[in-house]
A = this chain, B = another copy of it.
Amino acid sequence: MKNNLRERREQAGESQGDLAVAVDVSRQSINAIERGRYDPSLELAFKLARHYDCAIEAIFDPELAD
């Protein structure tokens, strides 16, 4: 699943560590999600969307059904 986390984070002037603290996960988790190693849990997706004040759908994209 694609996401634009990195773009949003950089535009917000945050480091991976900053964001990790803000949504209460490890820096490695943020890094892994940005790099597409795995998808976040639904709960973390909600926290990220709330942090960037947008819809989950605005950050994550299932990129064509399966």
A13 on interface, CB distance cutoff 8 Å: no
A2 to chain B, nearest CB (A): 12
A52 on interface, CB distance cutoff 8 Å: no
A61 to chain B, nearest CB (A): 9
Cα–Cα, bound, A60→B45 (Å):
12
Interface set of A (CB-CB < 8 Å, partner B): 1, 24, 39-43, 45-47, 50, 55-57, 60, 62, 65-66
Q: What are 16 of the A-B contact pairs (CB < 8 Å)?
A: A1-B43, A1-B46, A39-B41, A39-B43, A40-B42, A42-B45, A42-B56, A43-B62, A45-B56, A46-B60, A46-B62, A47-B65, A50-B62, A55-B56, A55-B57, A56-B57
